[in-house]
Amino acid sequence: MPRNAPHIPVLLDEVIGALAISPGETHVDGTFGAGGYSRAMVAAGANVIAFDRDPDAIAAGRAADVPGLTLVEDRFSRMAAHVEDVDGVTLDIGVSSMQLDQAARGFSFQSDGPLDMRMEQAGESAADFLNTADEGDIADIIYRYGDEPKSRRIARAIVAARPVTRTAELASVVRRAVGWREGQKSDPATRTFQAVRIHINRELGELEDGLEAAERVLKAGGRLAVVTFHSLEDRIVKRFLRERSGQTPAGSRHLPDMVGRGPAPTFEAVAKPVRASEAELTRNPRARSATLRVARRTAHSSSSANLRGAA
């Protein structure tokens, strides 16, 4: 996608179709961003409560003054502190195009900027982490969240180059560490930047907490729609919905069959995972790795409540 291109919501038609909005319903957009999903929900007749931890996104949304839209500057993992008994929750996981396109935010190495990466623009920055953490911790983060086989070599190079304060510096350190040259396929800095960003913003923990929060705030029959962009995120959503729908694996011949013995299912799948069509990929290459998973809330109390009651 060209830099500074308008933000295009991924799988927008599929998300809105899956939510099956009826006029007057209340829906949560857990990741407001540029407001694409929220505006489409409002257009379908919903009252929308949208969350974002990025103050820039909230300020832009409030300036637009969209009737039927309420904005909350907070993490979506904390939605249960603000709403209850909603008809739908939508989560679009990961970094937004606007964040990537602003060099001053430090999310991308396409343009040089301060090594920041903080969605909330507060707390520990990427530079803080990389310039103070142990080499082993840096290597573990890059391996775990970036699937980078040369993580130890990269971490060693980062420590040797300290202080690293700019995105171009970090990208250069990573490229030299792995022996990458201009023109070679897949810039290795991409994996390291992804890993550090996920760590700084606690993205996977936020997703886990956000799914549990959605379970608490959705009313019976409410829809959950989650769009993920890489396997680490999708694996969390897939596991959560499998557990909450009672689809845990049956026992082996050496272990008892536990299906039907756990908490009552709180979700039921309503569709197979959805990926972008060729037409959408032509319009929006960012959609190439996107996966949409949708489930419907049952009338049973949340799994955490069931587990407490069974204890």
pLDDT at 190: 94
Q: Cα 151 to chain center, whole Å?
A: 23
Element (H, E) at 310: helix 303-310
pLDDT at 232: 95
Strand-pairing partners, residue 73, are 52
Q: Which residue range is the domain that position 145 belongs to?
A: 121-200
The per-residue pLDDT for range 222-241, each reduced to its tens digit, is: 999 999 999 999 999 999 99
Percent of the chain exceeding pLDDT 90 equals 77
Peptide bond into 163 cis (omega under 30): yes
Q: Which of 151, 168, 200 represents a domain boundary (last residue)?
A: 200
Is pLDDT at 64 greater than 80 in this prediction? yes
Whether residue 125 sits in one domain with residue 59: no
Maximum distance among all Cα pairs of the chain, rounded to whole angstroms: 61
Q: Which of 200, 232, 257 represents a domain boundary (last residue)?
A: 200
Inter-CA distances, 98 with 9, 56, 182, 258, Å: 12, 10, 26, 46
Q: Coil, strand or helix: which one is 228? A: strand
Q: Does any domain span residue 115?
A: no
pLDDT at 151: 98
Which range among 64-78, 258-272, 280-294 shows the weakest confidence by mean pLDDT?
A: 258-272
The mean pLDDT value for 127-132 works out to: 98
Q: Does any domain span residue 241?
A: yes
Q: Does any domain span residue 247?
A: yes
The count of structural domains within the chain is: 2
Mean pLDDT, rounded, of the chain:
90
Q: Within 10 Å of residue 242's Cβ, how many Cβ atoms?
A: 14
φ/ψ of residue 220, rounded to 5:
-55, 130
Position 297: which residue type? Answer: R
Q: Report which DSSP code applies to 212.
A: H
Instruction: Look at 132 and 303; give whichever has higher pLDDT.
Output: 132
Is pLDDT at 3 greater than 50 in this prediction? no
**Contact predicate 244/265, CB 8 Å:** yes
Percent of the chain exceeding pLDDT 70 equals 90
Q: Give the separation between CA 296 and CA 267, rounded to whole angstroms.
A: 5
- Whole-model pTM: value is 0.89
**Contact predicate 18/270, CB 8 Å:** yes
Say which CATH number the domain at 54 has: 3.40.50.150
Closest CA to 133 of 158, 110, 151, 150: 158
